[in-house]
Amino acid sequence: MKKVLTKTKQFFAEIEFSKRAIVDYLLILLGAFVQALALRLFLVPSNLVSGGISGLAQLINHYTNFPIGLIVLLGNIPLFVLGWQYLGGPRFAIRTILSIVAFSVFVDTLVLFLPGVALTDDMVLNTLYGGLLMGIGLGIVYRGRGTSGGTDILGRILNRHSGITISQAYLITDSLVVLGAGFIFGWSKALYGLVLIYISGLAAEIALQGTNIIRTAMIVTSETEAVTHAIMHDLERGVTILSGTGGYTGEPRAVIYCTVSRMEINRLKILVHDIDPRAFMVIGQAQEALGEGFKPLKEED
């Protein structure tokens, strides 16, 4: 008993109340509200299921009329207990608890204020706007350094014990829920549900990362100094010179590595071509760029 009390005290002692943490909590609340809004406005009235615990709760609610939010809350409790060690400690666990509780409360509260019928009978519109709202809400929760619980926790558990990736775990759990929706609501609804999950994933990524896609470029040229100077002064971007060796000639070659925004990549191509038309370029896409010229490497609390 004493150990339990000690661990409980340690848990609450590590809860953050800094300015950054409060902003995180507000973002999680906002994201949970947007997700609940998507569920009540578009998904539940049209019998669309998005997967995860909330989707499973819709299926149970269809037969029992048990409140969806309460089902989500109860369904997350055993997952939270099992996945506690994978949540990254109290600071992240408290964000998960906040997200789960807020979403559950919002879902069951909004039913009192919103009509129980769909805004439109058009399944395409319900799928599109339901997926967008659900994804935006999830992305906002992620921006607050939180998780939505449910599938997130289960994914970490399966990843640790079975070796499958978290994304594969998402696919398995969501597919099982959508499969259940096919038997209950019909297969056309299940197919719309798959599209909704895809749209939701895209919207979540945009809400989290933004639309500014980062490009990386590796350039092999005989005019290394001229190209480097042009990138640094015309594009005002940093450059890293890597040492390489030509596979055919065996001669040492310098490789220019730089990171630019999507809008700057065409300027970079033209710039390199004007200096050395025989240059070799490889252009890639980066998930995110942190540091000078891009987003801060570490945000202050």
pLDDT at 300: 45
Domain ranges for the chain: 2-209, 214-286
The whole-angstrom separation of Cα 233 and Cα 231 is: 6
Token pair listed for 70: 């309460």
Comparing C-alpha atoms, which of 95, 107, 109 is closest to residue 27? 95
Token pair listed for 86: 């994978």
pLDDT at 301: 42
Q: List the chain pLDDT tens, one digit each, 301 residues.
A: 555 455 555 545 555 567 778 888 999 999 999 999 999 999 999 999 988 899 999 999 988 989 999 999 999 888 887 777 665 566 677 888 899 999 999 999 998 888 777 788 899 999 999 999 999 998 899 888 788 777 777 777 776 777 676 667 777 888 888 888 989 888 999 999 999 988 988 888 788 766 667 889 999 999 999 999 999 988 888 899 999 888 878 888 899 999 988 778 888 998 999 999 999 999 988 877 777 766 776 654 4
Token pair listed for 250: 């065996």
Taking the CA atoms of residue 4, residue 10, residue 15 and residue 18 in that order, the dihedral angle to the nearest 10 degrees is: 170
Question: Topology of domain 214-286, per CATH?
Answer: Alpha-Beta Plaits (3.30.70)
Residue 240, strand partner residues = 257
Model pTM above 0.85: no
Comparing C-alpha atoms, which of 51, 46, 59, 45 is closest to residue 114? 45
Cβ-Cβ contacts under 8 Å for 180 (sequence gap 6 or more): 49, 56, 59
pLDDT at 299: 54
